[in-house]
Amino acid sequence: MTTPGPVRLVVPGPLETRTGGFIYDRHIALGLERLGRLHDIVCLQAAYPEPDAGELSRDLARLGEQRGIAVIDGLCFTALAAARDYRPWPGPTVALVHHPLADETGPEEQVRVRLLEAERRALATACGCIVTSAATRQRLADFGCGPARVRVVPPGLERPAPGPVRSPGGPLRLLCVATLVPRKGHDVLLAALADVADLDWTLDLVGPARDHDWARHVERLVADHPCCGRIRFHGEVTDPACFYRHADLFVLASRHEGFGMALAEALAAGLPVVSCRIGAIPGTVPDDAGILVPPGDPPALAGALRRVVADPALRSEMAVAAHRAAKRFADWETTVRRFAAAVDALVDGG
């Protein structure tokens, strides 16, 4: 076995970006630094996953020559590896894949096929991949990455502060914490809520607008919604903990998730979950803590919402199960140690 070396972590933007992937990257960076395993962090500046040629060239120049172990976030790895002036570094490279680029909802089929082929070629140049769920490990088999080249390191979970402060009476407070991109299914959620307009609820939407065209589309859907007065946008927040503590039910209509950190945070806050049976979500949300429906199906989502909103006893049972399910997740300190061990195993095997 080789001697563990320092790790250069390459991420596709500012490390403080409030998305699940960046939150994972930030915790890993801080933890590797505490372990004395972090060489440096390179925060790229191009618009990944499909940057223009000039931005990509500048980012490649910033990377320079790699002499240690490079762990490169999958959101930027494919574009870097496909660049005309890309040269594989002398040191080993590990790809950190939150979910395959081709599984991001929104691109046309022709674009998806191109992304899939480009990512398959890129991952072949790495000595291995770290993924955040068993579902993504299974998906990478379609990219030519067998089990020996993939390690699963799920996100850690920060233990919640004091318990919920939900007020009895009044409308039920629904919460959705999700980046405004097509994959998160805000359009499906809003369509489902129109079908349960007769119930007493409000909805808090928390999350940054990463896709500005889609964000404007969602804003128009809310403005035209029959229950627009009950739906509140909060945008990007530094710490959504207060929203979890004041909510009664968490809902996420994702079309795909490589893990779903917001779902884990909801479970830790004791929130019943209504979401979709797709990607890693069934492995994150157990059946007794959530109701999962097919993705992209507003009537099915509306039926699940009606069932949970109208049944306080069911919500109480699901809340107990949510707290129980959250105990399965490791803390970030343990996750970082597992991450470092995974890097070393892949480098040694590669």
Residue 320 sits in the same domain as residue 228: yes
Q: List phi, psi (to 5°) of 110.
A: -60, -40
Closest C-alpha to 240, from 77, 26, 82, 19 = 19
Contact 95, 12 (CB under 8 A): no
Contact 214, 182 (CB under 8 A): yes
Residue 92 sits in the same domain as residue 106: yes
Confidence of residue 114 (pLDDT cuts 50, 70, 90): confident
322 compared with 60, residue with greater pLDDT: 322
Helix, strand or coil, per DSSP, at residue 252: coil
- Domain contains 95: yes
- Domain contains 86: yes
Domain extent, residue 109, equals 7-156+330-349
Residue 149 sits in the same domain as residue 75: yes
Q: What is the reported pLDDT for 2?
A: 56
Average of per-residue pLDDT across 90-95: 85
Q: What is the reported pLDDT for 221?
A: 97
Report the C-alpha gap between 344 and 327 in whole angstroms.
27
Contact 188, 296 (CB under 8 A): yes
Kindly report, residue by residue over 178-198, the tens digit of the pLDDT.
999 999 999 999 999 999 999
Number of domains in the chain: 2
Residue 312 sits in the same domain as residue 257: yes
Confidence of residue 317 (pLDDT cuts 50, 70, 90): very high
Give me the CATH number covering residue 223. Answer: 3.40.50.2000
Query: Which tokens is 297 given?
Result: 């199906």
Residue 133 sits in the same domain as residue 220: no
Residue 34 sits in the same domain as residue 90: yes
CA dihedral 278, 49, 266, 219 (to 10 degrees): -100
Residue 138 sits in the same domain as residue 190: no
> For the purposes of burial, counting CB atoms within 10 Å of the CB of 65, is it exposed (0-12), middle (13-18) or buried (19 or more)?
exposed
- Domain contains 164: no
- Domain contains 116: yes
Residue 249 sits in the same domain as residue 342: no
Closest C-alpha to 103, from 94, 113, 88, 95 = 113
- Displacement of CA 68 from its chain's centroid (Å): 28
Contact 343, 130 (CB under 8 A): yes
Residue 176 sits in the same domain as residue 321: yes
Residue 127 sits in the same domain as residue 240: no
Q: Please list the residues that pair with 128 across neighbouring strands.
A: 94
Q: Where are the alpha helices (DSSP H) in the chain?
A: 20-34, 53-63, 74-82, 109-123, 134-139, 186-194, 212-223, 241-246, 261-268, 281-284, 298-309, 312-326, 332-349
- Domain contains 1: no
Query: Which tokens is 147 given?
Result: 């089990």
Kindly report, residue by residue over 286-308, the tens digit of the pLDDT.
999 999 999 999 999 999 999 99
Q: What is the reported pLDDT for 279?
A: 93
- Domain contains 222: yes
Residue 318 sits in the same domain as residue 338: no
Q: What is the reported pLDDT for 211?
A: 86
For residue 88, pLDDT over 70 is answered with no
- Domain contains 64: yes
Average of per-residue pLDDT across 137-146: 92
DSSP class per residue in 302-320: HHHHHHHHT-HHHHHHHHH
Q: What is the reported pLDDT for 106?
A: 63
- Domain contains 163: no
CA dihedral 290, 240, 310, 221 (to 10 degrees): -100
Task: Taking the CA atoms of 327, 328, 332 and 334 in sequence, report the sign of the dihedral they define.
Answer: positive
Average of per-residue pLDDT across 312-333: 94
pTM of the model: 0.89
Q: What is the reported pLDDT for 83?
A: 83
Residue 74 sits in the same domain as residue 196: no
